[in-house]
Structure 1
């Protein structure tokens, strides 16, 4: 006897929605904060007038940011869990399990960051810093492991994996640039502007990487198949 297939649910909308929610949350919070006078009007990607955190720290922008980013963190966690299922193989390779653990820690850190953004106190400040650092850092490592396993198992077209790798290279370069700016730029205001601009650019690249992942899942028809009943073989 064999199970009859009832339907197919594609999963590529999951990373797509997570990416678009994060993009919408940051830019809507920025727009609302500019309108309310909490931050100056500028293009932060190259002017660096404000950080993402400051743009989403006050007023209605803070409420909207948390309203969108906390569900976004849940979608990120679900994406990493499904990626673990997608790349699971009988070879016993530990990279998939490390990818899953790092990805889930990253998603949890994003939720912590959004939850405590806009609060005061040393403990809350530590949780905010911990959240954003772990989100970017652990997420980046999980991305590298996903690309490596997808290449080994041939689960994605090489051109998409190359594009994702290029995004990660630029992200790494921005991270190094942020460290260099912090160490070498003496003027506080200039250093802050550089670090703010790099943060916005890093966030945009992170969104782009998840869009490429969504494209890869769409190409590979990765999804859930539902079954019902039985039929003769």
Structure 2
């Protein structure tokens, strides 16, 4: 039996690229097909990621990309828990949060574009659990990275990843404040849509930073290959 070796940084890089390509490709295809209005979704909030990927070819391609991405997210957080365990106790919490986030992403992508109250519930809470558990997994990862004393020369990288988490938290707080202060439902929706795009961009940025760090550390994962 042979063993194959894969650079670990490829996983977070692939997750970031698939997320960015899936969302923007779906937006472009829906725009061309006339399903959504032309605007800058990051600023104007004219459409959400879900609406941009809900119809036509954009929906099919989005689901085709995001379902494998959910598998990548699960593998990534499982390997991240193994990485933190190499310098301290094993983190079942990190692995559990990561797997919950991946499963929620799979549920969201599976039912995106379907009709019905039950499917709407699964989509809505699927994306909420994906972002929520993923954010908590990031915090646990960064805490263990700092506590185990592995930052060292990578302290700047660690701070950049913490700054991205802080920005994501501020976006969440901004969404709550918008719901409380804006009495116009249309303006509330546009704000929520814009914040969703910005949050997705920050999430991809976090994975890119992690890929950069793991590439600097030259981390490898070995697995059994075919005979």
TM-score category (smaller protein): over 0.9
Contact 1:181 1:191 in 2 (8 A): yes
The count of aligned residue pairs is 221
Could you list the runs of 4 or more consecutive aligned residues of structure 1 that deviate by over 4 angstroms after TM superposition? Answer: none
Cα 1:226–1:31 shift into 2, 3 Å: closer
In the alignment, structure 1 residue 165 sits paired with structure 2 residue 162: yes
* Pairs within 5 Å for 1:60-209: 60-89=57-86, 91-92=88-89, 96-156=91-151, 157-209=154-206
1:153 Cα deviation from its structure 2 partner: 2.1
Change (3 A) 1:40 1:223: same
Q: TM-score w.r.t. structure 2 length?
A: 0.93
Q: Determine whether 1:215 maps to 2:212.
A: yes
Give a deviation string over 1:111-166, Cα, whole Å, max 9, x none. 10000000011110010011100000010000000001111223341111100000
Gaps of 5+ in 1: 1-5, 228-233
* Separation (CA, whole Å) in 2 of partners of 1:7 and 1:100: 23
Tell me the secondary structure at the aligned position of residue 87 of structure 1: helix
- Residues 1:52 and 2:49 are matched in the alignment: yes
- Partners of 2:4 and 2:195 in 1: CA distance: 44
In 2 relative to 1, CA 51–7 (structure 1 residues): closer, same or farther, beyond 3 Å?
A: closer
1:221 CA drift (Å): 1.4
Quote the Cα distance in structure 2 between the aligned partners of 1:89 and 1:16: 22
1:231 match? none
Question: How much does 1:91 deviate?
Answer: 4.6
How far apart are residue 90 of structure 1 and its match? 7.1
Question: Larger C-alpha radius of gyration, 1 or 2?
Answer: 1
Taking structure 1 as the reference length, what is the TM-score of the superposition? Answer: 0.91
CA contact under 8 A between 2:87 and 2:148: conserved in structure 1? no
